[in-house]
């Protein structure tokens, strides 16, 4: 059973917003990014993981945007030391396989058959995997699992949580899927139907409201109105993007 994160979930619901999981994961991601630049960069068990997995493109970019480029450079260097032999061997195996398949004069004019491609497909998968693997995404996935577990747990067990849950805006679409997966695992059929009876209306109402709000945002910008813009309209676009994309959006540098 994953660790419960009761106070974190309560705090996130108190804060409000389009999706409590987006807020929690955004906050914890910032903490990780900061710590990779400072204390964590030298911890041996962390280095073992960053050497082996590295980061996905999004997280390399976020690390690069932090102020301490030296920390990022140290991690990039040792990750490259560890991953280069494997990358080079896959590249070489692509080349060797192409030469092997070339065969005689006639055969060399034919495109590769599916069978010829087996070793190549394997090398390609391995190379693609080396780009996608990410120590930070793995850490966030564990946090996400604990948060989803706690939301479903509280919904089922804590009567004080129910009114808070019912007055929330549901989740972004991506985190709805995560919580739904957890609800499907943890709840019996009757409770799953009840959970959906409560949650689907939160989601549909929130999507409908955002549609109107982001339209309002568009109008204000289209007509370059000089009227003062309220908080709801001002934040409508970032909240709509969050609902659809499952992450917090903020202006550059914030």
Binding site for Zn ion (CB under 5 A): 19, 21-22, 56, 59, 134, 136-137, 172, 175, 246
What is the closest distance, in whole angstroms, from the C-beta atom of residue 56 to Zn ion in the complex?
3
Q: 19 or 123, CB closer to Zn ion?
A: 19
Q: 64 or 98, CB closer to Zn ion?
A: 64
What is the closest distance, in whole angstroms, from the C-beta atom of residue 58 to Zn ion in the complex?
6
Q: Which of 157, 183, 181, 155 is nearest to 168 (CA)?
A: 155
Angle at 233 between CA 230 and CA 235, to 5 degrees: 105
What is the closest distance, in whole angstroms, from the C-beta atom of residue 44 to Zn ion in the complex?
21
Number of residues in the chain: 254
- Containing 195, the helix (H) or strand (E) segment is helix 189-222
What is the closest distance, in whole angstroms, from the C-beta atom of residue 132 to Zn ion in the complex?
8
Q: 92 or 211, CB closer to Zn ion?
A: 211
What is the closest distance, in whole angstroms, from the C-beta atom of residue 175 to Zn ion in the complex?
3
Q: 56 or 187, CB closer to Zn ion?
A: 56
Q: 23 or 97, CB closer to Zn ion?
A: 23
- DSSP code of residue 71: H
The answer to whether the CB of 6 falls within 8 A of the CB of 154 is yes
Residue 3: CB partners within 8 Å, gap ≥ 6?
146
Q: Which of 79, 88, 84 is nearest to 50 (CA)?
A: 79
Reduce the DSSP state of residue 231 to 3 states and report it: helix
């Amino acid at each position: 059973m994953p660790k419960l994160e009761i106070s974190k979930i309560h705090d996130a619901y108190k804060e409000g917003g389009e999706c409590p999981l987006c807020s929690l994961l955004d906050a914890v991601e910032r903490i990780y990014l900061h710590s990779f630049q400072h204390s964590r960069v030298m911890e041996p068990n962390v280095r073992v993981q960053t050497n082996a997995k590295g980061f996905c493109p999004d997280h390399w970019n976020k690390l690069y945007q932090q102020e301490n480029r030296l920390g990022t450079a140290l991690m990039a260097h040792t990750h490259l030391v560890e991953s280069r032999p494997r990358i080079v061997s896959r590249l070489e195996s692509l080349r060797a396989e192409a030469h092997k398949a070339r065969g005689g004069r006639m055969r060399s004019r034919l495109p590769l058959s599916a069978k010829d491609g087996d070793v190549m497909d394997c090398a390609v998968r391995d190379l693609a995997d080396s780009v996608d693997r990410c120590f930070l995404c793995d850490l966030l996935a564990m946090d996400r699992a604990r948060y989803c577990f706690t939301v479903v747990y509280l919904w089922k067990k804590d009567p004080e949580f129910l009114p808070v849950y019912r007055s929330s805006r549901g989740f972004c679409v991506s985190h709805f899927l995560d919580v739904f997966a957890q609800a499907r695992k943890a709840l019996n059929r009757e409770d799953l139907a009840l959970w959906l009876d409560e949650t689907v209306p939160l989601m549909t109402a929130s999507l409908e409201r955002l549609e109107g709000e982001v339209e309002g945002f568009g109008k204000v910008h289209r007509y370059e109105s000089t009227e003062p813009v309220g908080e709801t309209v001002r934040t409508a676009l970032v909240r709509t993007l969050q609902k659809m994309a499952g992450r917090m959006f903020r202006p550059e540098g914030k």
